[in-house]
Amino acid sequence: MPRDSESTLAALANVLRQYWGYDRFLPLQAEAMNCVLQGRDSVVVLPTGGGKSLCFQAPAVCLPGLALVVSPLISLMKDQVDSLRNCGVPAAFANSTQSAAERRRVADDVRAGRLRLLYLAPERLLTEGTLEFLQSVRVSLVAIDEAHCISSWGHDFRPEYRALRVLQEAFPGVGIHAYTATASETVRRDIAGQLQLRDPEFLVGSFDRPNLVYKVQRRHDRLRQIREALERHRGEAGIIYCIARKDVDQTTAALQELGYRALPYHAGLSDDERRRNQEAFIEDEADTIVATVAFGMGIDKPNVRYVIHAGMPKSLEHYQQESGRAGRDGLEAECCLFYSGADYGVWKRIIEDSEPSAREGALKSLSAMLNFCSGVQCRHRAIVAYFGQQYPAATCHACDVCLGQLDLVAEPLTIGQKILSCVMRLQQRFGGDYTAKVLNGSNDQRILQLGHNRLSTWGLLADENLRTIRDWIEQLVSQEFLVKVGEYNQLQVTPAGWRVLRGEVTPRLLRPARPAKAAKPAPSEDSWEGVDRGLFDELRRLRHERAAAQHVPAYIVFGDASLRDMARRRPSSLAGFRQVNGVGDKKLADYGQEFVERIVAYCQANQLPLDVPPPASVPALLPEPRLRPPPGVTALTAFPLFRQGLSVEQVAQRLARAPSTARGYLCLFIQQERITDPSPWVDPATVARIVDAVGQVGAERLKAVFDVLGGQVSYEQIRIVVLCMKNADV
């Protein structure tokens, strides 16, 4: 294999295109693949859907010899191997589901050099006979999937993974590579130490999943809230997570009674029933799996359009992992979390019964999870901050906070000051429950004994529900106006909290929870732009037919992203079909003719044009939130400059920001200040043309306006004018 980076990347790009039908690398994939090709040990942390598997699969095709892949689950091995074979890559697995004859056949293929990848569980790999056998052949690399299982600091520690440290001695000179979707700095270092990696490269991608829309609600009617989410995704695949097995069984039975195609999954079911239910879900024979956390690790189903948590997970690591099973194909997906204070109590009791060495860290993780649920900070920002990263944008436009779907109180400053004052009157010596009772005017015996019913803050929030007051306290904690200290989580006012008391800063507090139907998240412009929905559904049916005939999951044939691209391009020839995203040489040979024929027949019957050029990437208009989140600090510094009439370029230069960032600040300025006159940034003649175009096609789609104007006016100018027009209509 050539060693210079340019030729190496060219070879990898060719392999990606030939076998997988991809024409670009995802972030950090090229760097991770280069580590494999150079034989340098590595620890790679990429989000679910970030293409971790390709980081070792593509190099395995390039390198001579056999790649060993350590995988924790039999179902994951089978899915990965089926997918590789369907792309034309020779691969196999060895596990307990195989007969003696099947295992001998795999061994013969290994000896003959007919395989590029072999998947094994850690227990099987480390048996004396297996290690000796594999030491007799040429091993190109060792890849350890779900590597967080190695670390006792990780959220799914598995003792059997610890024994993998012998791999360095068993395969000297062979690169060892660890892959996971979720690992803190402590976990990453522990993985490297436990595996005894040699000067490893640490590659850590962003923990953000921009295609996921996060929504968090207090649980008030579990079944109703779940149904509202399911109705937004009729006929689509999704997962519902419950804390307890009885909740899984009750929820599944209720949904089945209502006509939903739902199946249960938990450790109380027989192995056979779990296997059947999982296969039914993977093969699209069931839409929804209702499960405990026993379900999901390694489920390689890319078209999961929703993940619902019917109870609060015990950590943000678990939430990131479980919610990350939605939208693995990069298309939009919804993540709903319905929580209750009782969930915190359930997990706390479980943690307190666990090993003392793990108790402190687990309780801190649980508190962070509760703060996330009750907080009013951008969900994407909160998640990446927890994992030690900074969120790059002022707003995500993909969570209930930034979409303005939270119902905020009218006078948060007054309420916040009352709560903080009460904490001070209690000399910062009591926890949230006690403080809430004082504010509520409780005559609890302890309050009377301590004389706290005589405090000026006693009963200040007597008109509010006790649970509501308790929630507000947690929201102040999550915004760092209060902090919990000591063994009993006594509340203390922070320096930021003192600014609230002085009226210099206003917190954000939620109204008491009440049932409300949330709107379905709008599909992203990129994912559905130009797609004929009828043709997409027709191709889904064809995909199901082919998958059923081959006894493989539907996504092994093609993912939803590929079907959308087919329904967008509508190729009439095999050459055109080869240009579809996700179509490699083998899939072209296996499926091309049948899919092209179905596309042509549908388009002719519906008088649709064939061989449509793919649309250029079109920036979407910033969503108009019902309640806009406040802009970031840097954006606010741009506002006075725009008021002075400075141009975007001048503001960018003044703030040392890119012009594209300054344009984003301008849009926020126009929205926040309700600007109706675009003339400081767009000349009057162009404004008149845009207004006329909007009158013809409406303001909902920028591309339609752009097309009417013949591509002669920039999207930036169109966006500015449209925002001003919307403000004028309010």
Q: For 504-528, what is the mean pLDDT?
A: 61
Helix (H, G, I), strand (E, B) or coil at 174: coil
**pLDDT score of 306:** 96
Identity at 254, one-letter amino acid code? A
Report the percentage of the chain scoring pLDDT > 70. 90
Domain ranges of the chain: 5-204, 212-386, 412-501, 530-605, 633-729
- pLDDT of residue 142 exceeding 90, the answer is yes
Q: How far apart are CA 577 and CA 233, in angstroms?
A: 29
Q: How far apart are CA 579 and CA 69, in angstroms?
A: 31
Contact 497, 506 (CB under 8 A): no
Q: What pLDDT band is residue 520 in, cutting at 50, 70 and 90?
A: very low
Contacts (Cβ under 8 Å, ≥6 apart) of 644: none
- pLDDT of residue 402 exceeding 80, the answer is yes
Does CATH place domain 530-605 in 3.40.50.720? Answer: no
Burial pattern 320-353, b for ≥16 Cβ within 10 A else e, equals: bbbbbbbbbbbbbbbbbbbbbbebbeebbeebee
Q: For 638-657, what is the mean pLDDT?
A: 78
Bridge partner list, 52 = none
Q: For 357-383, what is the mean pLDDT?
A: 84
Q: How far apart are CA 293 and CA 241, in angstroms?
A: 7
Q: How far apart are CA 297 and CA 707, in angstroms?
A: 45
What's the chain's average pLDDT? 84
CA 326 to chain centre: 7
- pLDDT of residue 628 exceeding 60, the answer is no
CA distances from 420 to 417, 457, 480, 709, 711 (A): 5, 10, 12, 56, 55
Q: How far apart are CA 102 and CA 507, in angstroms?
A: 64
Report the percentage of the chain scoring pLDDT > 90. 37
- pLDDT of residue 456 exceeding 50, the answer is yes
Q: What pLDDT band is residue 154 in, cutting at 50, 70 and 90?
A: low
Burial pattern 554-582, b for ≥16 Cβ within 10 A else e, equals: bbbbbbbbbbbbbbbbbbbeeebbbebbb
Q: For 218-246, what is the mean pLDDT?
A: 91
CATH number of 412-501: 1.10.10.10
Identity at 586, one-letter amino acid code? K
* Entry pTM: 0.62
**pLDDT score of 357:** 64
Q: What pLDDT band is residue 390 in, cutting at 50, 70 and 90?
A: confident
Helix (H, G, I), strand (E, B) or coil at 362: helix
Tokens representing 357 are 């060495």
Q: If we measure between CA atoms, which residue out of 213, 228, 232, 525 comes closest to residue 399?
A: 213
Let me know if the fold of 5-204 is the same as that of 412-501.
no
- pLDDT of residue 632 exceeding 60, the answer is no
Q: For 370-387, what is the mean pLDDT?
A: 87
Residue 404's region, left for phi above 0, alpha for psi from -120 to 50, else beta, is left
- pLDDT of residue 166 exceeding 60, the answer is yes
Tokens representing 673 are 């200040």
Model pLDDT for residues 696-715, shown as the tens digit of each residue? 777 767 777 887 888 888 87
Q: Are strands 139-144 and 117-120 parallel, antiparallel or unpaired?
A: unpaired
Is the Cα dihedral 15, 18, 27, 157 positive or negative? negative
Does CATH place domain 5-204 in 3.40.50.300? Answer: yes
Domain topology for 212-386: Rossmann fold (3.40.50)
Q: For 467-489, what is the mean pLDDT?
A: 87
Of 307 and 648, more confident = 307
Model pLDDT for residues 600-620, shown as the tens digit of each residue? 999 888 888 888 887 654 343
Of 519 and 35, more confident = 35
Of 391 and 154, more confident = 391
Q: What pLDDT band is residue 13 in, cutting at 50, 70 and 90?
A: confident
Of 17 and 488, more confident = 17
User: What φ, ψ does residue 97 adopt, rounded to 5°?
Assistant: -80, -10
**pLDDT score of 513:** 55
**pLDDT score of 296:** 59
Contact 514, 409 (CB under 8 A): no
Q: How far apart are CA 339 and CA 356, in angstroms?
A: 27
